[in-house]
Amino acid sequence: MLVPMSKVYIIGLKKYFLDALEELQTYGKVHLTDLSDGIAKGEMPIESMRLFKTSEEELDELRSLKSRGQILIKNLFGNPGIDSNCSSLEREEKLSIAALAKQANEYFAAAEPEASGLVQKVEDLSEEQAELLQYEPLLVKIEPTVKKLVGDKDMYSTAIIVEARFRAAANELRDMLEKISEGAATTVVKSLGDEMLGIVVVVDNEHAPIVRQTLSDEHVNHIKLPGTFEELPFSEALRAIHERIEILPEKIDKAQIELALYAENQREKLCETTYGILNCIHQLEAIEQFGETAYTFVIAGYVPSDELPELKKLLEDKWANGVVVDEIPIETKEYSKVPVELENGARFKPFQAALGIWGQPVYGTFDPSFIIAMSFPFIFGMIVGDVGYGLLLLGFCLFFKWKYPKNGVVQAFTGVLAPGGLMAIVFGVFYFEFFGNLASEYIPGLNTLKPIQITSSFSLPFIRTSSDMMMTLLVMAISIGFIEIVAGLIMGVVNHRHMGERKEAIEKSGILVILFAVLAMVTFKFVPVLTSGLSTESAAIVSYLIYFVLAVGFIVSIAGGGIMGAIETMESVSHIASYIRIMAIGLVGALLADAANKLAFVTMPNAAGIFLALILHVLNFAIICFSPSIHALRLTFLEFFGKFLETGKVSYKPFAHVGKDEQS
């Protein structure tokens, strides 16, 4: 359900304002509302509160300090998100903004250089490792050629790397080097793969300078050995690079440990400083939402109703006759502006996250969290309806919930899909499906079990792929649609009445009457046992009565919604028909699983057939993870929720110390 809210005005003497504001932030339960629009329209005989020039300057400085804190957090923890790296820490003493800014400046001035140095050290070592690992394979390929050309002689050697398409240019370079060295340079072109060429240049020490200069002047893309390796002979440089590559991981690990230890040592002070800055920013930014007179301040907001006594006690007892908390009744027309907080247990949180895709409900209406928690798994399970796939999905969900306990996205997805997997197992027993017809056709012992025929069109277990059961499956799917659409319309009528929307309530009531009339018409048409005992005259009376109710419903829907009433009626019927997708998508998955089993046991009863069948089952499982989810969400949100869910724009966001919710 939605948390009941109370609208409050907090009025007090100005001398208590800053202390009261700090108390509200520490309390952390009041959702503030902006009074400036109402004041500007003359709805309240007060003025909007404004920041003094000194406060504006303080706010600018605090915002600058906030950026420095975020950069420091990113350098130390690799993530600029404050809440993901800090727990909320309360200061033992309350500092003035000036004192806090001074303390933060001193702290950042000391911490920033050391943090930057440690980060730079890790980055430099990592870049060096990446650079050497890039050079090493090329140097290893070129080394035998260099050794062959140099032999035991004291000669200068280098290597040039060019793309294979520049082979002609490589030949020109070879001719040029031989010419400027008076034939002393030996150049060999070696393939380094399909796309690269290695050009080895060996020359005596006398002509080495002019060769190096020529390569530099021509801007040739040659291998430039890093740092201390550049002046070493080729073989020694390669050996030194090997040694450096071996010790770099240890150096990087040590540097990362050093950075991590420093970060952990700084975490408490950094979080305390950053949170202090953010809390001051939030206080200053909130001020312009308030009102004032010459001697008083006015703060408006909403608080959960069960928290109101504590709020009154907190402020009125502390400043007796100096601060008053006044509760104002919430009018129906204000519901769209009231902040919404969903009050459900932890098991509904994943479904509340899914609900966020569609939008929050308006205050005073139904909380759909419980409804989606029932509707989605049921529809998902009815579509999948397979014990094997359900167990597999449930296993994957439990594994990922265990593997990533702090990942909100993973927890939300698995929290939604796990109940769906459980319902897939339940419906799998009902359909007698285990990876398709594996149990009913191919597993010894189980394949001898025969369905118990209840009626000509219904059996237990219900073999949905059987041709004589498909019409029953179709009726089942449409029946689910009828139940959900009717339930949605009933809740829609209740919501509109709560919101004071009389015409909308009448329109949906008319549609309800039409749907029940259509249900009665279809029932009397296709269930002859109901009319078998009636005379011709009685049957005609019943038919005319149904037509009369149908006409009344149509008139009522038009009276409430005008032409939109007729459109909404047709839309409701089409939405019921949309539930046919439960049958269609479920049958596609079941038939694909059956085809895979037939491939392995009948068409190709060998290793190749089993392999292909496994591929088909994996593909089918991948489809099951997505397609039924999408369609179950579509039916729940678009068809079902579209009949009653009024979406609002205001979520409950209390004025509180940063990180308080995470800490609690």
pLDDT, tens digit, for every residue of 597-622? 999 888 888 898 899 999 999 999 99
What is the model's pLDDT at position 393?
94
What is the model's pLDDT at position 663?
39
Which of the four pLDDT bands, split at 50, 70 and 90, describes residue 662? very low
d(CA 341, CA 661): 14
On the question of pLDDT at 649 being above 50, the answer is yes
Among 88-102, 279-293, 340-354, the range with the most confident prediction by mean pLDDT is 279-293
Which of the four pLDDT bands, split at 50, 70 and 90, describes residue 54? confident
Which of the four pLDDT bands, split at 50, 70 and 90, describes residue 543? confident
On the question of pLDDT at 138 being above 90, the answer is no
284 compared with 456, residue with greater pLDDT: 284
- Choose among 2, 15, 14, 657: nearest CA to 302: 2
On the question of pLDDT at 271 being above 90, the answer is no
> Which residues contact residue 18 at a Cβ distance below 8 angstroms, ignoring those fewer than 6 apart?
none
Average pLDDT, integer, range 481-505 = 90
Region of residue 265 (phi > 0: left; psi between -120 and 50: alpha; otherwise: beta): alpha
Which of the four pLDDT bands, split at 50, 70 and 90, describes residue 561? confident
What is the model's pLDDT at position 381?
94
pLDDT > 70: percent of the chain:
91
Residues 119-132: tens digit of each pLDDT: 999 998 998 888 78
On the question of pLDDT at 65 being above 50, the answer is yes
d(CA 75, CA 401): 30
Residues 73-122: tens digit of each pLDDT: 888 887 766 655 565 555 445 678 888 899 999 999 999 999 999 999 99
Which of the four pLDDT bands, split at 50, 70 and 90, describes residue 299? very high
Least confident of 290-294, 299-303, 450-454, 600-604: 450-454
54 compared with 585, residue with greater pLDDT: 585
What is the model's pLDDT at position 312?
92
Which of the four pLDDT bands, split at 50, 70 and 90, describes residue 646? confident
Predicted structure pTM score: 0.71
459 compared with 391, residue with greater pLDDT: 391
What is the model's pLDDT at position 515?
92
Least confident of 32-41, 235-244, 372-381, 487-496: 235-244
In this structure, are residues 447 and 440 in contact, taking their beta carbons and an 8 Å threshold? yes
Long-range contacts from 114-122, C-beta under 8 angstroms, 24+ separation: 114/262, 115/72, 115/75, 115/76, 115/262, 115/263, 115/266, 116/75, 118/255, 118/258, 118/259, 118/262, 119/75, 119/76, 119/259, 121/255, 121/258, 121/259, 122/252, 122/255, 122/256, 122/259
Q: Show the tokens assigned to 399.
A: 């594994």
Q: Show the tokens assigned to 527.
A: 């269930």
Which of the four pLDDT bands, split at 50, 70 and 90, describes residue 347? low
Which of the four pLDDT bands, split at 50, 70 and 90, describes residue 308? very high
